[in-house]
Amino acid sequence: MSLSKLHGIDPGRIGVFAGPLNGQPNAVQREFARETERLGYGTLWYGEALGREAFAQGAIYLGATERLVIASGIANIWARDAAAMANGGRTLAEAWPGRFILGLGVSHAPLVKMRGHDYDKPLTAMREYLDAMGSAPWRGPEAEVPPIILAALGPKMVGLAGERTAGAYPYFSTAAHISEVRRILGPEPFLAADLPVVIAADLAASRAIGNRHLDFYLGSTNYRNNLLRIGWSESDLEKPGSDALFDAIVAWGDIDRIAGKLRERFEAGADQVVLNLVGTDASVPPFDELRLLAPLSNRS
């Protein structure tokens, strides 16, 4: 991976996904971002979906920290037109140089419909959106659109990511799928790999905690179709997923076992692994998990 693809930004080898913070007040979000930075993680990724607006949320995290790279993962292209997306990215990149990555995605059909759009030909929609971003007018101080990463699962969207952007961020994936994504991208584009993490004594305890994560995402057509495409069966995908599927998607167990799962993602071609912290209680921000896993940043 060449840092030139990321406009010189160094995102680090280990990132954290801020999904569990979506329902938390801003004070907790800022505290979590500062702790993520203090512990030595490289990037804090955050989603949008139907939650907080992507650029407002990014500004909260950027303003709370000094060095941490902040990345939208992802900003929904149906939530704003291409000029607003490009200029929102420029605004954050100009205010916090070298610290913001703009992750984009086509989202999911039910969420797109709720916004009043038709989820038709998502690949074409993304290609045309990137074209429009490239020609968006800007009347602020000199500032480039920050590096763009695509949320990409299937070969065509991954190919578009490698052709037109800095790289890809596949979510709810497996090491085998990450290897496929790297092959399609080629060696230069940035590849961030999502990795749900459950700290627990054994598989039974891990499943008791992590099943809600699989249950939620196995309800998404996009994720199901990708898993079927790469060889998983319908029986594997029956909620909350087979043990084999759980083991392929989730890093579970003690720190040493989880470290092994990180190595699998790196060996498959990931430049960064994004720890998606799944705690016992989804309403509790995962500070404990964040601190317990911090030593992994020194092993990678």
pLDDT computed for residue 117 by the predictor: 57
Beta bridge partners of 45: 17, 71
Contact partners, residue 35, CB within 8 Å, separation at least 6: 287, 290, 291
pLDDT computed for residue 119 by the predictor: 62
State the average pLDDT over residues 73-78: 92
For 166-297, where are the E strands, in sequence order? Answer: 167-168, 190-199, 251-253, 272-277
Query: CA Rg, the chain, in Å?
Result: 18
Contact partners, residue 192, CB within 8 Å, separation at least 6: 11, 15, 43, 45, 71, 73, 149, 167, 168, 169, 270, 271, 272, 273, 274
pLDDT computed for residue 272 by the predictor: 98
The 10s digit of each residue's pLDDT in 211-258 is: 999 998 999 898 999 999 999 999 999 999 999 999 999 999 999 999
pLDDT computed for residue 161 by the predictor: 98
- 3, pLDDT greater than 80: no
Entry pTM: 0.95
Query: pLDDT higher for 172 or 114?
Result: 172
CA angle (63, 96, 44) in 5-degree steps: 60
Name the band, by pLDDT with cuts 50, 70 and 90, for residue 4: confident
pLDDT computed for residue 55 by the predictor: 97
State the average pLDDT over residues 183-202: 97
Name the band, by pLDDT with cuts 50, 70 and 90, for residue 182: very high
pLDDT computed for residue 1 by the predictor: 61
- 110, pLDDT greater than 60: no
> What is the pLDDT of the chain when averaged over all its residues?
93
- 115, pLDDT greater than 70: no
Domains of the chain: 3-299 (3.20.20.30)
pLDDT computed for residue 20 by the predictor: 85
**Residue type for 233, please?**
S
